[in-house]
Amino acid sequence: MSVEEPKKFIIKIVLSNNQNVLDVIKQVINFQEGEVRSLYLSPKGLNGEREMIIEFEGKAPSVNSLVKNITQIEGCVESVVTEFPAALIQTDEEVGK
């Protein structure tokens, strides 16, 4: 049986109002099965929606669980999860040497 290594994911969430933003931040901060590496919140758009970009490090089932919890919040309009490209991670580490 192989042990699954944590991976980096980018989670994009589109939210309809500021109250939803606070609810999502609470979910992310209280989530215990991985680590939030960064969180970006866009300015409010013309339609009142905001985008939240979360860089998350954890195992795939943990990411699925987190996204499921977030999408159940009223006002979550869209969610997209992308695994961070491995080549980009290796390149970033080499630049710092």
Taking every pair of Cα atoms in the chain, the longest distance, rounded to a whole number of angstroms, is 50
Average pLDDT over residues 36-65: 91
The Cα-based distances of 91 to 80, 82, 85, 97 in angstroms read 24, 18, 10, 10
Output b/e per residue, 32-50; b: 16+ Cβ within 10 A. Answer: eebebeeeebeeeeeeebb
Contact 55, 70 (CB under 8 A): no
User: Could you tell me the domains of the chain?
Assistant: 7-95 (3.30.70.260)
Nearest alpha carbon to residue 55 among 33, 26, 77, 82: 82
Per-residue confidence (pLDDT) for residue 4, from 0 to 100: 74
| Residue 40 pLDDT grade (very low, low, confident, very high; cuts 50, 70, 90) | very high
For 33, the 3-state DSSP assignment is coil
pLDDT > 80? residue 85: no
pLDDT > 70? residue 96: no
* 90 or 60, higher pLDDT: 60
